Structures are given as C-alpha cells and as structure tokens.
Structure 1
Amino acid sequence: MVSDREMDWELLQQARGGDFSAFETLVARYERRIFGLARRIVRSEHDAEEVVQQTFITLIEHLHDFRGDSAFATWLLRIASNHALALLRREAVRSTASLADDIRHDGDGDPPFPSFIAEWRETPDQILARAETRRIVQEALDELDDKYRLTFLLRDVEGLSTAETAEALGITEGNVKVRLLRARLMLREKLTRIFGDEARAVAPHRHDED
C-alpha cells in the first residue's frame, strides 16, 4: 500500500515534469487542511482564502525546492503558516504586540499555575467527538494571546516540529517550548472549568509556598 508521503512525492515529481493534473491533485489533497489552518490563524474566511491562494502560488514557484527532508505536508503547512502570519502582521488583524516580542519574558521561569484543577468527567477524545464541544474548545483557543495561540496551533494541531514552528514564528526553539507549555496550561484551566468534575478538584500548589 502506497503511503501518503510516497503518494505526495510521486505527484510532486509528476508536477515538476509539467503534469498539471498532478499539481491539481496535490491542491485537492491539501486545500481544505490549509484553509482550516489559515482560518484558525487569521480568523477570516476571506483572508484564509487569500492564504490558500498564496500558498499554492508559492508551491508553483518553488516546486523544485522541496528536497524531502520532511513530509511534503509539513513543508506545505509551513508555507501556509508563513503566509497567514505575514497577513496578520501586514493587516494588523488584531491590535496585539508583535508575535516575536517579549522574548525576554519567555524564559525558563515557572509557568503560571492554574487556579482550578480537577479531573475531567470525560476523556479528551470523547469531548472533541461532539460539535458543540469543538466550538467550546475553539472559543477557548481564541481567547489566548496570539503568541500562545499560534504556537499551539502550529505545534500541537498541525504537528510541525519545534524547529519548524520556531522558523514560522521567528522565535527560538526554547521560546516555542515555553509558549507551548503555557498555552497548554492556560487551555487546560479554561477547559477544566467547563469539563472538570468539581467533586474531584485539586487544591492548586504554588511554588512560592514551598
């Protein structure tokens, strides 16, 4: 059975040879996924469509640049995320600080400890199986500061490596790790208040009380 990675490579080779139908097949395979990523980053369907167009224009222009060091999907998602981030910066979609700012505050210090901790009533996969809870999760994600939200999207949702996420956001790998940890903790606290079992709440532990 041919793997997705092998299929992508074969289609890419055909597209490089001038087979436009192979290129169209690549577009069909990844258009929805790229749109989903772009929509979550720029929060606008119109802008997300622009990101999709720019991503595939870039693909046409750089068909011969992909060397297979990573999966084609990862490479393409990195291109899409770069276009989406560039659009965010260019249009100032949100009046937040620069995505790469305050690096000095992303050191190795202790992350903020959640004020409410409890075992969830259901497992994460059971929670995400319902459309309503997917909406709640998305709303919780939207409430995060951009630098944490985007790190979480690229690293945990789209599966980019730490190095690839760092490259896309223009920060160090160490900053990616710290931002990802903080994003996970903040999301965990937000969602625990909805899905947690208050009967099994745990008193928060603070490092300054040691």
Structure 2
Amino acid sequence: MDRDEIIKKVETARREGSKLDLRRLNLSKLDLSHLDLSEVQLHEASLNQTNLEGATLRGANLVFANLIKATLRGADLREANAVFANFRLADLSGADLTKANLSAANLFGANLSKAKMSGSRLGEANLAETNLSGANLNGADLNEADLNEANLSGADLSGADLTEANLSQTKLAQAKYNQQTRWTEGFDPISAGAVKKRKWGLF
C-alpha cells in the first residue's frame, strides 16, 4: 500500500461518513506527511520509520501500534488513544498531544521537545532518555512513568502528577511547576533545578 492508496481510502471513508480502518496493516516507511487521518483506526498497525510530519491524527486509535523511529514533527495527535503504542526513538517534536492517552506507551529515547501535552495521560509510560525539553505538560498524568535520564529542562509541569514516577537522573533545569504539581514522595524539585511558580503564575 502506498500514499496514493491511503489518500483514496481517506476520500472513500469521508464520502461514506465512516472511520478509516487501517488496523494491523504494514505502513512502515511510507510518506503520509500532512495527510488528514483524523479518527483513523490504526490498532496494531506497523508505522515504523513512517513519515507523518504535520499529519492530523486527532482522535486516532493507535493502541498497540508500532511507530519506532517514525517522524511525527508538528503532527496533531490531540485526544488520540495510543495506549501501549511503541514510539521508541520517534520524532514528536512540536507535536500536539493535548489530552492524548499514552498510558503504558513506550517513548524511550523519543524527541518530544516543545510538544503540547496538556492533560495527556502518561501513567506507567516509558519515557526514559526522552527529550521533553520545553514541552507543555500542564495537568499531565505521569503517575508511575519512567523518566530515568529524561530531559525536562524548561518544561511546564504545572498541575502535573508525578506521583511514583522514576525521576532518577532526570534533567529538570528551569522546569516550571506550581502548588498543584505532585511529586514522588521525598523528591526535591528545587534541588533538581526546577522553578516553582507563585500563586498568580509569576516566578
């Protein structure tokens, strides 16, 4: 299956008012950049090294999908369901993952710099060695997430839940947090370089 075939399937699904079904298909290494794949069904699909830069995947079903080394720069993944998805070493820099469900997803070594992740669910996700510098994680659920050696420098963690998260060697220089941010018991964010916001959002 190639890009043109995918475009035809998108157009057919749109005419019929149905959701595009690409479950369990091998779409690895295809160029699907800038396509509108809103609410597409990609359950257990293979998208390894696929180019999805600037693509719209809002509300997509990516449960158990494989996106190893995929390119998703600037992609729209708002409200996507990516539980147990594998984004190992993927490029999601600048992507919009607002309210996406990434619970138990594998994001090891992924690039999520400057990603929009407000309200996203990352409980039990593997974020070890992930680049989250400058990411907006306002209100995100990171409970029990593995952030070992992750880079959260300059990230916004206001209202985020990091209860039971693994923060071993996590880089938090200039990361912002507030009174509502919850940390692993005994963890001192200030000594790790994070900066607490005052009540009205000022430092």
TM-score past 0.5 threshold: no
Instruction: Please tell me the TM-score bracket, short chain as reference.
Output: under 0.3
Structure showing the higher helix proportion among its residues: 1
Q: Please, what TM-score do these two structures have when normalized by structure 1?
A: 0.23
Larger Rg: 1
TM-score by length of 2: 0.23
